[in-house]
Amino acid sequence: MLSQTQRALELAKGLGAEEAEAFLSDNTITTVRIASNRVVETKRVHEGGIGVCVAIKKKVGFSSGNELSEELVQRAVAIARARPPNPDFNGFPPRREPKPVADIYDRELEMAPGSEIVGLAEEMLEAALDFDKRVVQASGAINLIVERCAVSNTNGVQATDITTKIFGHLTAEAKGLNGGEGQGWMGSTSLKKFSANLIGKQAAELAVNSLDARSVEPGTYDVILEPNAAAELFYHVLSYAINGKDVYDQISYFSNSLGKTVASEAVNIDDWGNLPSGLCSKTIDDEGSPTQRTALIKEGRLVGFIYDWYYGGLAGGGSTGNGLRLGDFGRSHQLSPTPHTTNLVVHPGEFNAEEMIEDVKKGLLLSRIWYTYPITPQRGDFSTTSRCGFLISGGEICGAVKQVRIHENLPKLLRNLDGVGKEPQQIIPWGASASVYTPRIRFRRVRIS
């Protein structure tokens, strides 16, 4: 792969480019979807190609295609010659030696035949249906993603990366009063550590426990988010706020908060690109910068943002190893790098589930939330609905509750956060390109409608 990216640099220099960068991706994605208790789709996508970026006197052009050709590089050079310079262009990243990251590639997973993924999907389904006869319907999927890439630039960066991950999710439905719904989720970078059976059981157990749900009165409740729900909230409503591009664009509600207290002392959050066994860990980012652990919130104080090389430059620093080109199928040669989280890691606290619940007089335990978006992003106002929820009264769980809507403000909730669980889980939320590694979280005084 590196021979291709190096050749691209030679072509670019030969055509008059002063600086150049080439990124090659080669991804294989296998997906098996289950719906209505049967396998409905089996899919394998192979996508590869190269993207070339050239610079001539701060005039930058980009071109991509299925394969390297002189014409492709010429297009990038022609674009660069045709446009005005960008005074903010700060070149391409310098060469820094990446260090190996443990357990982010498994050859057994890469070589797993499609039929094995189909078998895992069926095992997940069976585990849900066999769990309890009230479980009548299940749908979900297993995805296997193998990403390979190579990046070279005229500053001497020459690096390759390969990662594997498998993750599955299942939504089970149980028959009974008001019906019950539950979700299971698991992901792993290796085949041996992945259990389809566990996903099915988790989904089924939650579906059965969610039966006979009743309505709750609108009002103010303490809310405990299970890891799945917390991951959804943090990915969709927090990760843009610590993204150097959104901070620069002033869409982030943390744009003027660096160094200030933005959350309770219980909150410690990092972006950890080289987390061993991390679902979205990488050796290098998509500009060739080594990935790293970047502290974002430390004991409630905002201490950092994530950057690619360009936005790091605009902020007066460098890259944090977060220059990523994330498409639907993973790292994509068709895209230019922008800052993006890798594994957003919420440090575990001291509480087990029982301890978090017993200190709640009137509250809700939410296992899953849905369609969580910052409806006023610059303020951190968000809206979401629950999918699996339980009422807490006097420190005890007293049954399932019907869907509620939460329209709240995350900066406010972060200050009202007073409990962090000690059992984190790693999750890739729906529609996300990064993982969140989080335990249960307890927020006080959340408005429910």
Hey, which residues between 125 and 164 contact another protein (CB under 8 A)? 125-126, 137, 139-141, 143
Nearest distance from C-beta of residue 376 to another protein, angstroms: 6
DSSP 156-209: S-EEEEEEEEEEEEEEEEE-STT-EEEEEEEEESSSTT--HHHHHHHHHHHHHH
Residue 407 binds another protein, judged by CB under 8 A: yes
Q: Give the H/E segment covering residue 109.
A: helix 107-110
User: Contact between 64 and another protein (CB under 8 A)?
Assistant: yes
Sign of CA dihedral 270, 273, 274, 280: positive
The residues in 70-99 that bind another protein, with binding defined as CB under 8 A, are 72, 75-76, 78-79, 82-88
Q: Which is nearer to another protein, 122 or 355 (CB)?
A: 122
What is the pattern of x (binds another protein, CB under 8 A) and - over residues 383-402?
A: xxx-x---------------
User: CA-CA distance, 85 to 309, in Å (whole number)?
Assistant: 18
- Which of the stretches 3-11, 95-103, 219-227, 364-372 binds another protein when contact is defined by CB under 8 A? 364-372
Given the DSSP bridges, would you call strands 326-327 and 330-331 parallel, antiparallel or unpaired? Answer: antiparallel
Question: Residue 266: phi, psi to the nearest 5?
Answer: -75, -10
| Residue 331, strand partner residues | 326
- Looking at residues 230 to 249 of the shown chain, list those that interact with another protein (rule: CB under 8 A): 249
Smallest distance from another protein to CB 82, Å: 4
Q: Which of residues 180-219 bind another protein (CB under 8 A)?
A: 181, 183
* Rounded Cα distance, 157 and 161, in Å: 13
Counting contacts by CB under 8 A, is residue 107 touching another protein? Answer: no
Residues that bind another protein (rule: CB under 8 A) add up to a total of 95
Beta bridge partners of 65: 50
Assigned token pair, 430: 């729906």
| Of residues 158 and 378, the one with the C-beta less far from another protein | 378
CB of 121 to another protein, least distance (A): 8
Based on the shown chain and the rule CB under 8 A, indicate whether residue 409 belongs to the binding site for another protein. yes
**Cβ distance to another protein smaller for residue 113 or 259:** 113
Contact of 145 with 29, CB cutoff 8 Å? yes
Q: How far is the CB of 19 from another protein (least distance, A)?
A: 15
